[in-house]
Structure 1
Amino acid sequence: MRDYTEAARGFDLEQTAAAALQGNLRALNACIECCDRHTGQGRVALRWENEQGNSGQLDFDALKSQSSRFANALKAQGVRAGDRVAGLLPRTPQLLITILATWRLGAVYQPLFTAFGPKAIEHRLQQSAARVVVTDAHNRGKLDEVTACPIIVTVQARPGELDFQQCLDGCDANCEPVLRTGDDPFLLMFTSGTTGPAKPLEVPLRAIVAFQGYMRDAIDLREPDRFWNLADPGWAYGLYYAVTGPLSLGLSTTFYDGPFSVESCARLITKLGITNLAGSPTAFRLLIAAGSTFSTAIKGQLRVVSSAGEPLNPEVIRWFADELQVTLHDHYGQTELGMVLCNHHGLRHPVHQGSAGFAIPGHRIVVLGEQGQELPAGQPGILAVDRERSPLCWFGGYLGLPTKAFVGCYYLSGDTVELNEDGSISFVGRSDDVITTSGYRVGPFDVESALIEHPAVIEAAVIGKPDPQRTELIKAFVILAAGHPASAELAEALRQHVRQRLYAHAYPREIEFVSELPKTPSGKLQRFILRNQEIARQHAQPATAASA
Structure 2
Amino acid sequence: MSNNVINQVDVSQLIQQYDEPISSVTDLLCDRHDGERVAFHYENANGVKKSFTYGELKHDSLLFANALKSLGVKKGSRVAVLLPKGPELIISVLAIWRLGGVHVPLFTAFGPQAIYYRVENSGADVIITDAANRSKLNGTTAGTDAIDPSKVKIITVDASEADGDLDYWTSFKNVQPLERNEVVTKDDLFVILYTSGTTGHPKGVQVPVYALAAFEGYMRFGLDVREGDVFWNMADPGWAYGLYYALIGPLLLGETFIVYNAPFSVANTIRVFQDYKVTNFAAAPTAYRSMRAEWDEVAGSVTEPLSLRVLSSAGEPLNHDVIRWAEKNLELPIYDHYGQTEQGMVINNHHHPSLQHTCKPGSMGQALPGFKATILNEQGEEVGPNVEGQIAIDTEQSPLFWFRGYYQNEEKTAERFLYGNRYYLTGDDSSYDEDGFFYFSGRNDDIISSAGYRIGPFEVESAIMEHVAVSETAVVGVPDERRGEVVKAYIVLKSKYSPSDELAKEIQLHVKGNLSAHEYPRIIEFVDALPKTPSGKIQRFLLRG
Structure 2-normalised TM-score?
Answer: 0.79
Equivalent residues in 2 for 1:174-253, closer than 5 Å: 174-253=178-257
- Which region of structure 1 is more displaced relative to structure 2, 301-310 or 231-240? 301-310
Cα separation, partners in 2 of 1:208 and 1:525, compared to 1, 3 Å:
farther
2:113 is matched with 119
Q: State the 1:382 CA deviation.
A: 0.3
Aligned residues of 1:309 and 1:524 also touching (Cα < 8 A): no
Return the alpha-carbon distance in structure 2 between the equivalents of residues 305 and 522 of structure 1: 28
Aligned residues of 2:267 and 2:298 also touching (Cα < 8 A): yes
1:411 is matched with 424
1:472 is matched with none
* Among 9, 12, 15, the residue aligned to 1:15: 12
Q: For 1:256, what is the secondary structure of its paired residue?
A: strand
1:273 aligns with 2:286: no
Which whole-Å deviations, capped at 9, do the CAs of 1:276-309 have from their partners, x for residues lacking one? 1111011211111112233443464321111010
Which whole-Å deviations, capped at 9, do the CAs of 1:101-139 have from their partners, x for residues lacking one? 000111111110000000100000001111211001100
1:26 aligns with 2:32: no
Q: For 2:374, what is the secondary structure of its paired residue?
A: strand
**Which amino acid in the other structure matches residue 55 of structure 1?**
K
Cα separation, partners in 2 of 1:231 and 1:526, compared to 1, 3 Å:
farther
Return the alpha-carbon distance in structure 2 between the equivalents of residues 531 and 226 of structure 1: 45
Determine what percentage of the aligned residue pairs are the same residue.
43
Which whole-Å deviations, capped at 9, do the CAs of 1:239-260 have from their partners, x for residues lacking one? 1001111111111221111111
Q: For 1:356, what is the secondary structure of its paired residue?
A: coil
Return the alpha-carbon distance in structure 1 between the equivalents of residues 289 and 271 of structure 2: 18
Which whole-Å deviations, capped at 9, do the CAs of 1:353-384 have from their partners, x for residues lacking one? 01110111000000111111111111100000
Aligned residues of 1:4 and 1:349 also touching (Cα < 8 A): no
**Which amino acid in the other structure matches residue 157 of structure 1?**
A
1:426 is matched with 439
**Which amino acid in the other structure matches residue 405 of structure 1?**
R
Return the alpha-carbon distance in structure 2 between the equivalents of residues 424 and 532 of structure 1: 42
Aligned residues of 2:273 and 2:306 also touching (Cα < 8 A): no
Return the alpha-carbon distance in structure 1 between the equivalents of residues 206 and 199 of structure 2: 21
Q: State the 1:170 CA deviation.
A: 2.7
Q: For 1:135, what is the secondary structure of its paired residue?
A: strand
Return the alpha-carbon distance in structure 2 between the equivalents of residues 478 and 128 of structure 1: 34
Aligned residues of 2:233 and 2:282 also touching (Cα < 8 A): yes
Aligned residues of 2:375 and 2:389 also touching (Cα < 8 A): yes
Return the alpha-carbon distance in structure 2 between the equivalents of residues 524 and 324 of structure 1: 32
Cα separation, partners in 2 of 1:413 and 1:270, compared to 1, 3 Å:
same
Structure 1: 4+ residue segments shifted above 4 A: 475-481, 518-527, 529-535
Aligned residues of 1:71 and 1:175 also touching (Cα < 8 A): no
Equivalent residues in 2 for 1:271-310, closer than 5 Å: 271-298=275-302, 300-310=306-316
What value does the CA root-mean-square deviation take over the aligned residues? 3.2
**Which amino acid in the other structure matches residue 174 of structure 2?**
G
**Which amino acid in the other structure matches residue 44 of structure 2?**
N
Q: For 1:80, what is the secondary structure of its paired residue?
A: coil
**Which amino acid in the other structure matches residue 105 of structure 1?**
L
1:107 aligns with 2:101: yes
1:356 is matched with 364
Q: For 1:31, what is the secondary structure of its paired residue?
A: helix
- Which region of structure 1 is more displaced relative to structure 2, 287-296 or 381-390? 287-296
Return the alpha-carbon distance in structure 2 between the equivalents of residues 47 and 273 of structure 1: 11
Cα separation, partners in 2 of 1:432 and 1:80, compared to 1, 3 Å:
closer
Cα separation, partners in 2 of 1:433 and 1:124, compared to 1, 3 Å:
closer
* Among 42, 46, 51, the residue aligned to 1:57: 51
2:73 is matched with 79
2:322 is matched with 316
Aligned residues of 1:232 and 1:522 also touching (Cα < 8 A): no
Return the alpha-carbon distance in structure 1 between the equivalents of residues 480 and 527 of structure 2: 15
Q: State the 1:164 CA deviation.
A: 0.7
Cα separation, partners in 2 of 1:477 and 1:279, compared to 1, 3 Å:
closer
Aligned residues of 1:309 and 1:523 also touching (Cα < 8 A): no
Return the alpha-carbon distance in structure 2 between the equivalents of residues 33 and 152 of structure 1: 28
Which whole-Å deviations, capped at 9, do the CAs of 1:328-377 have from their partners, x for residues lacking one? 10000000010000001112234200111011100000011111111111
Cα separation, partners in 2 of 1:521 and 1:30, compared to 1, 3 Å:
farther
Aligned residues of 2:317 and 2:364 also touching (Cα < 8 A): yes
Return the alpha-carbon distance in structure 2 between the equivalents of residues 296 and 171 of structure 1: 51
1:388 is matched with 396
Q: State the 1:6 CA deviation.
A: 4.3
Return the alpha-carbon distance in structure 1 between the equivalents of residues 345 and 429 of structure 2: 16
Return the alpha-carbon distance in structure 1 between the equivalents of residues 383 and 347 of structure 2: 17
Q: State the 1:263 CA deviation.
A: 2.3
Return the alpha-carbon distance in structure 1 between the equivalents of residues 259 and 404 of structure 2: 31
**Which amino acid in the other structure matches residue 404 of structure 2?**
G
1:155 is matched with 157
**Which amino acid in the other structure matches residue 241 of structure 1?**
Y
- Which region of structure 1 is more displaced relative to structure 2, 392-401 or 145-154? 145-154
Q: Which runs of 5+ in 1 are unaligned?
A: 435-443, 449-474, 482-514, 539-547
Aligned residues of 1:278 and 1:305 also touching (Cα < 8 A): yes
Return the alpha-carbon distance in structure 2 between the equivalents of residues 282 and 405 of structure 1: 29
Return the alpha-carbon distance in structure 2 between the equivalents of residues 526 and 215 of structure 1: 34
2:177 is matched with 173
Cα separation, partners in 2 of 1:275 and 1:523, compared to 1, 3 Å:
farther
Return the alpha-carbon distance in structure 2 between the equivalents of residues 419 and 275 of structure 1: 31
2:33 is matched with 38
Equivalent residues in 2 for 1:435-450, closer than 5 Å: none
Q: State the 1:155 CA deviation.
A: 0.6
Return the alpha-carbon distance in structure 1 between the equivalents of residues 188 and 175 of structure 2: 27
Aligned residues between the structures? 461
Aligned residues of 2:233 and 2:242 also touching (Cα < 8 A): yes
Return the alpha-carbon distance in structure 2 between the equivalents of residues 306 and 63 of structure 1: 28
Return the alpha-carbon distance in structure 2 between the equivalents of residues 76 and 199 of structure 1: 30
Q: State the 1:323 CA deviation.
A: 1.1
1:465 is matched with none
Cα separation, partners in 2 of 1:67 and 1:117, compared to 1, 3 Å:
same
Which whole-Å deviations, capped at 9, do the CAs of 1:452-508 have from their partners, x for residues lacking one? xxxxxxxxxxxxxxxxxxxxxxx9755599xxxxxxxxxxxxxxxxxxxxxxxxxxx
Q: State the 1:28 CA deviation.
A: 4.4
Aligned residues of 2:187 and 2:208 also touching (Cα < 8 A): yes
